Amino acid sequence: MPIVKHLNMKLVDRFLQYVKFDTQSDELTNMTPSTPGQMIFARHLRDELEALGLKDISLDENGYLMATLPGNIEGRDVPVVGFIAHLDTSPDMSGRHVSPRIVENYDGGDVVLNDATGVVLSPTDFPELKHYVGQNLIVTDGNTLLGADDKAGIAEIITAVEYLKNHPEIKHGKVRIAFNPDEEIGRGAHKFDVACFGADFAYTMDGGEVGELEYENFNAAVARVTFKGRNVHPGYAKHKMVNSMRIANQFVIMLPRWETPEHTEGYEGFYHLVGMEGSVENTVLTYIIRDHDRDRFERRKKELEHLVRKINNEFPGCCSIEINDQYYNMREKIEPVMYIIDIARVAMEKAGVTPKVQPIRGGTDGAQLSFKGLPCPNIFAGGLNFHGRYEFVPIPSMEKAMQTIVEICRLVGEK
């Protein structure tokens, strides 16, 4: 499917506009959306969808935006396919005052993101850059994340829908699109109204580099381990003081050192210490627990509980733990409808992309949506090095993602 230069420019212009919205989520607010910037962005997108002439546009009080591109096939039933992306960016790094720039015809060398602070995007540290020599890349200024996760996905969906609307010769069924808040803090699907969305199946445009097609993800939980201490003047503390920070450190080193994100890949799970806040009297460790295999996932949770008991044997009543599951591996929900993976695979090939079927070493709204009755695998959006200052997205990868959406709609219409 040829993509005209005019549409490519729209895709890039949309993305460059979208990343200027500050939409970091915040798990501490206990609101939906968790930050006001997400609703501001959702209203902007709603206005844009109205200007494009889409139908059934709705934006609820929780920041869930949905719309319809009507089908143009008469005389037979066609499945309703959906495409979903999330409004928020990661709280791991600032998304305020994002200042993107385009590196034209990347030469394979170092890219200086910020000369003043010495931030360099280098193939020495990120060898995947070598895959994009000769392409135009969108990068950060080294002070913020970029926001390709998932504003690239939003730009790709809207541009694909616009393309379909302007090319009625491409026959397709009803297409539903949705943009939701708070994916980055694990709540993106919590208030997603699957019945209102009304799709037979959907795809999240939330993957990484070009070609990714994913229907397996981690089982996920978050654990908060609390240590209670007793503070006494350090000059008179012998046999009296109980330093909660020291005990917390003892707990940390009791976990296997090789089962961490920096030492695992593929289907290997991990314990990841993501937060540590403490004083002599009170320390809290926050872990995320991940594993593709459900049995191993459950054993990981039990191992944390076992270590808490060991700590309490030495320091009675010192330690407590709270574990909450976040999402589960969608594979069991996708396997009965594997034809939707076949459709995506063929669509990528028609768009000139080699599919890379692989497990997600993370999560996606599609996992929770699949368990809510909407089968929803994940497709690449094109970005790399998410959640940090070294994030970048090759423009051709975004174009291929947009083409893949169009081809999926065409294939569903044909079949």
Residues noted as catalytic: 88, 183
What is the number of alpha carbons within 13 Å of residue 107 lying toward its C-beta?
4
Residue type, 30: N
Run of H or E including 92: none
Burial class (CB in 10 A: 0-12, 13-18, 19+), 322: exposed
CA distance 321 to 330: 27
- The total of other beta-carbon atoms located within 10 Å of residue 395's CB is 21
Residue 156 CA to residue 168 CA, distance in Å, equals 19
22, β-bridge pairs: none
Write the secondary structure of 155-221 as one string of H (helix), E (strand) and C (coil). Answer: HHHHHHHHHHHHCCCCCCCCEEEEEECCHHHCCCCCCCCHHHHCCCEEEEEEECCCCEEECCECEEE
Looking from the CA of 76 toward its CB, the CA atoms found within 13 Å total: 9
- Listing DSSP states for 330-376 in one string gives THHHHGGGTHHHHHHHHHHHHTT---EE--BSS--HHHHHHHTT---
Q: How far is CA 139 from the centre of its chain?
A: 18
| Sequence-ordered list of residues with C-beta below 8 angstroms from that of 263, at least 6 positions apart, any chain | 257, 270
Any residues with CB less than 8 A from the CB of 137 and at least 6 apart, and which? 102, 103, 106, 111, 392, 393, 394, 395
Return all residues near 120 (Cβ < 8 A) that are at least 6 apart: 110, 111, 112, 113
| Angle between helices 294-314 and 244-254 in degrees, nearest 10 | 140
